[in-house]
Structures are given as C-alpha cells and as structure tokens.
Amino acid sequence: MSSTVSIVLIGVAVLFILGIKFLSSPKTARVGNLIAAAGMLIGLIILCKPDGANIWSQGWTFNYTLIAIGILVGLAIGALGAYSVKMTAMPQMVALFNGLGGGAAALVASLEFIHRASPAKMAGTLPPGEPTAALTIPMLFATLIGSLSFSGSIIAYLKLEGKFEKPMTFPGQNFLNGLILLAIIGLCGWLTFNATGGDAVTAFIVMFSLALFFGIAMVMPIGGADMPVVISLLNSFTGLAVAADGFAINNTAMIVAGTLVGSSGTLLTLLMCKAMNRPVTNVLFGAFGSGGSGKAGAGGVAGTVKPIQADEAAVLLAYAQRVVVVPGYGMAVAQAQHQVRELSEELGKRGVEVQFAIHPVAGRMPGHMNVLLAEANVPYDQLIEMEQINPSMDRVDVCLVIGANDVVNPAAREDKSSPIYGMPIIDADRCKSTIVMKRSMAAGFAGIENHLFYKDNTRMLFGDAKASLNALVAAVKAN
Ligand code: NDP
C-alpha cells in the first residue's frame, strides 16, 4: 500500500472517531453522521486505486464502476428505508442493516481466504508463498463472527417483526449449540495450519455454513426483554468482524472503524445488561420468556382495575405539586411526544414540577425516549435517569405512565418466578397515585401481566395516548 493511501486512510480513521464523538449527543448527532459518511466515501474512493498484486488489481475503471454501482444501490435502499421506516420499527432496521454489515465482512474475509487457498484458480494475482497464520486467523475470525452476526441479525429482525411468537427452545439446546461451536473452533484450528488446497476450501465452506447455522441457533432461544441486548451484541460482532477484515487485507480505516463499532457495541451490551440486572451469559443461554409465570391474561393478580376519565385525571395533575411522566413504547406508537410536552408546559404554568423518568430500555431502541422527547423540545434537564429518580418516587404526587408497561412492572422486584425478575424498573407503584395511559389491558413486549395496573393507587386512562393527552391538555386548561 502506498504511503499516500496509508496517510489518507489514517485521515479517514480520524473522521470515523470524530463521527462517533459527535454522535454521542442528540444535538450534534446529525453532523456526526455526515462526518462518518464523508470518511466512508473517501475510504471507498482511495481504495479503488489499484495497488499491485492484491484483490483490487482488476484495474481502476473496473473498481470505480463496481463501487459506483454499489454506492448507488446502497444509497437508494438506505434512503428508501430511512424515509419509509416508522420510528417504532427502527430496531428491526438496525438489526437488518447490522446483519448485512456482518454478512459483507464475512464475504470479504471468505473471498480473501478462498483466493489465497486456491492459488491455481487465480494464478498470478497473489504474492507467492503460503498464507501465514497472522493472515489466516483474522480471515477465519471475520468469517466466523461476520456470518453468525448475519444469520443471528436476520432472526432478530424476524423476531422483532413478530414472526416468531415465543423463544424457541428444546431440551439439550445449549449442549447442541456447544457442540456446533466446538466443531467450528476445531475447523478454524485445523485451517490455521492448513490454509491451502482443495481440502482447505471444503473445510472453510463447512465452517462458514456451521457459523451461519450457529447464529440462528444462538438467537432462536432468546426473546422478550433480552432482544435489545442481543441486537447490541450482534452489532459489536459485526464491528469486530470488520476490524479483523482490516487486518486480513491490511486496511487501517477498516481496523479503526471496526474497533470503534466493536468496542461501542460491547460497552452498550454491558450497560444494557447492567440496566436489566442480567449477566450476558444469562441473556445468551437463559432463554428469556420460555418459562416462568406472569403471562398476560393468566389471572390470579390481586386487586382490581380502576378506570379514570381524562377530566378527573386532569384535576389530579393540575393540583399536584410534583408529577413524574414515565414514557414508553406506546408514546412512540401514538407519536404523542408533542402532546406530552404541551401537557408538561401547561402544568408548569400552574406551578407543578414536571420531570420525565427515563428507563434505559423503554421503547424499542436505546435512547428511544430521549430522541422522541428531544424532537418535541422537552428540555434535557427535565429528563431524569431511572437510578436518579427512583429514590424520590414516594414523594411524587402523580406518576403519569404513558404507554409504558414492562419498565414499570413491579413483578421485576416482587415476583421471583417472573421472567423479568431482577430487571430494574421505574418505581411508578411507589408514587402517591399513578395514572396509566394505554389502550387496553394488553401486555407489553415481554408478554407478561403487569401487577401495577391492579394496585390500589393506580388508575387506568384507556385510549390512544395522543387522543388521551389532547383531552388531558384541554381539561387542564379548563381547570
Ligand atoms: P412495552 O412494550 O412493555 O409496553 C408498551 C405498551 O404501550 C403496551 O402495553 C401497549 O398497550 C401500549 N401502547 C401501544 N400503543 C399505544 C398507543 N397508541 N397509545 C397508548 N398506549 C399504547 O413498553 P416499555 O417501553 O414499557 O418497555 C419496552 C420493552 O421493549 C421492554 O421489554 C424492552 O426490553 C423491550 N425492548 C426494548 C428495546 C430497546 O432497545 N429499548 C429493543 C427491543 C425490545 P396497549 O396495547 O394496551 O395500548
């Protein structure tokens, strides 16, 4: 690789780092996205340059044509996806795009491996000599991690689309998965020292297929509230696969970009596990929702459901000193964030202190509530993290739960047999009174009954969140 290309690639890596830095705040996220995209474009253009005897040596016209076609097709699909996808379907889109990234990383490594393993087929295009372990190991790693990220993400996508109702489990599943993993590791070990010839290509294809299957087998038993953690984990796998590709084809920008995605995905995974009080191993091998009690509609919950009308709820809110709003997925479905801000402003004018309690996995993607409330111009200082607000929840006059369910389910604290037992929740049940806004008694994402709805101090305001909030705002103004 020429020194000019190396220097430009280091510049590209800097753009990626700046992009991530800017992405860390909603205010600068758009600029961050553009900076990272500019880095990607420069990286693509600079790599079209033919560079001696490597896989890019078909000639630059050929390379530029191929890459231009790739960019145009990618732009069309990306723009169409971004314009048409609903905010509530973002996690599916993230899972799908992440899967494609993993698949692409696996294909780059596979092409490079097969190319080197069968020199007879591509005579003259490679430097002479056996591929070294230092090259083979990253290629195998990228193929393994990238392909399981691809198939796992597709299953995650289908699950989030509601194509599979329950986590799919059977006795001995972890044992079988363990055997497949052992076979993959064994094949990778053998290939490290036998990386050329027909047998190597066959063994490589078997390993690739097993890795694809392992991705499916790994994600199938996972479900319910564990899905966001899995998506984040697969995201970090894709990053690691891209970084390994970078080592295999000697590309600094890919090493840096992959490491950034890999490390941020790993950090996010660990933070989400911490937020849900579940070790990663438990998420991967615990088969969320396959057992336990608390299914919606199972009955047996103590207490009765007490509906409330908007007028009565407005009186409670208007004469409260402190109100905490707990937004959830239902607020996103109803697109009610602007009405929430209006209500909070209206209450603020009357001297009511309004805060928003943010659960780390509320909604369907990390930061989902922050993004929606920021879009509606709710001031940042009113958004309070779960750990900060929980200790003072018993001093809250009215807790207004808007389309949240799992993240306020006290079963997570009280019912050891519940699948979500141990997951930290926002303690809405500890407030002096709680109003829950939702359309019916239907369960949330985890599919389990919510004991909060039956508590003595809870009232249910049934209806679409946006319509109910409009009625609330009108009633508060009239008070
Ligand atoms: P939940 O999915 O637990 O509950 C949402 C509630 O919103 C439902 O009970 C539904 O009840 C109600 N709802 C839906 N539409 C409307 C509407 N138009 N108006 C009013 N209410 C509505 O949401 P939470 O935010 O409490 O919890 C998030 C869940 O999603 C967790 O289990 C989390 O693990 C999981 N998850 C989170 C991801 C993330 O990264 N944040 C990603 C993937 C999953 P009804 O139908 O009766 O109206």
pLDDT at 310 over 60: yes
With a 6 Å cutoff on the Cβ, whether 195 touches ligand 1 is no
Q: What's the mean pLDDT in 467-472?
A: 97
Do 184 and 124 share a domain, yes or no? yes
Greatest mean pLDDT among 118-122, 141-145, 283-287: 141-145
Do 328 and 284 share a domain, yes or no? no
Do 46 and 140 share a domain, yes or no? no
Do 44 and 161 share a domain, yes or no? no
Residue 305 is assigned to a structural domain of this protein = no
Q: What's the mean pLDDT in 105-117?
A: 89
Do 171 and 212 share a domain, yes or no? yes
Chain-centroid distance, C-alpha 321: 37
Residue 299 is assigned to a structural domain of this protein = no
pLDDT 10s digits, 43-59: 888 765 555 444 445 56
Alpha-carbon distances of 128 from 91, 123, 125, 246, rounded to whole Å = 46, 10, 9, 21
Pocket test for ligand 1, best of 335, 406, 423, 460 (most atoms within 8 A of CB): 406
pLDDT band at 296 (very low <50, low <70, confident <90, very high): very low
pLDDT 10s digits, 128-145: 555 677 888 999 999 999
Do 236 and 318 share a domain, yes or no? no
Do 384 and 471 share a domain, yes or no? yes
Nearest atom (ligand 1) to Cα of 464? 19
CA of 438 relative to ligand 1 center, distance in Å: 10
Contact assessment for residue 174 and residue 96, using Cβ atoms and an 8 Å cutoff:
no
pLDDT score recorded for residue 294: 45
pLDDT at 378 over 50: yes
Distance of alpha carbon 154 from alpha carbon 149, whole angstroms: 8
pLDDT band at 114 (very low <50, low <70, confident <90, very high): confident
pLDDT score recorded for residue 298: 44
Structural domain for 151, as ranges: 89-290
pLDDT at 254 over 70: yes
pLDDT score recorded for residue 54: 43
CA angle (32, 35, 40) in 5-degree steps = 125
With a 6 Å cutoff on the Cβ, whether 91 touches ligand 1 is yes
Which conformational region is residue 224 in: left (phi greater than 0), alpha (psi within -120 to 50 degrees), or beta? Answer: left
H/E stretch holding 307 reads none
Residue 298 is assigned to a structural domain of this protein = no
What's the structural domain count of the chain? 3
**Residue 229 DSSP SS3:** helix
Alpha-carbon distances of 371 from 76, 122, 173, 368, 378, rounded to whole Å = 25, 50, 38, 5, 10
Residue 300 is assigned to a structural domain of this protein = no
pLDDT 10s digits, 356-365: 999 988 987 7
Nearest atom (ligand 1) to Cα of 224? 32
How does strand 383-385 pair with strand 398-402? Answer: unpaired
With a 6 Å cutoff on the Cβ, whether 363 touches ligand 1 is yes
Give the end of a domain, one of 242, 261, 290: 290
Do 31 and 80 share a domain, yes or no? yes
Residue 180 is assigned to a structural domain of this protein = yes
Residue 463 is assigned to a structural domain of this protein = yes
Which residue in 406, 415, 427, 429 is the catalytic one? 406
> Residue 400 forms beta bridges with which residues?
325, 435
Window from 110-124, 130-144, 162-176, 396-410 with minimum mean pLDDT: 110-124
pLDDT band at 215 (very low <50, low <70, confident <90, very high): very high
Is 226 annotated as catalytic? Answer: no
The CATH number for 399's domain is 3.40.50.1220
CA of 459 relative to ligand 1 center, distance in Å: 18
In sign, the C-alpha dihedral spanning 234, 238, 241, 247 is negative
Distance of alpha carbon 215 from alpha carbon 466, whole angstroms: 39
Residue 269 is assigned to a structural domain of this protein = yes
pLDDT 10s digits, 442-467: 998 888 899 999 999 999 999 999 99
pLDDT 10s digits, 153-191: 999 999 888 887 666 777 788 888 899 999 999 999 999
Chain-centroid distance, C-alpha 217: 19
Encoded tokens for 431: 């407030």
CA of 262 relative to ligand 1 center, distance in Å: 28
Do 175 and 266 share a domain, yes or no? yes
pLDDT 10s digits, 257-272: 899 999 989 998 888 8
With a 6 Å cutoff on the Cβ, whether 228 touches ligand 1 is yes
Do 332 and 356 share a domain, yes or no? yes
H/E stretch holding 82 reads helix 60-84
Do 106 and 76 share a domain, yes or no? no
Which conformational region is residue 111 in: left (phi greater than 0), alpha (psi within -120 to 50 degrees), or beta? Answer: alpha
Do 333 and 379 share a domain, yes or no? yes
Mean pLDDT of the chain: 86
Encoded tokens for 141: 């790693």
**Interacting residues of 181 by C-beta distance below 8 A, sequence separation 6+:** 214
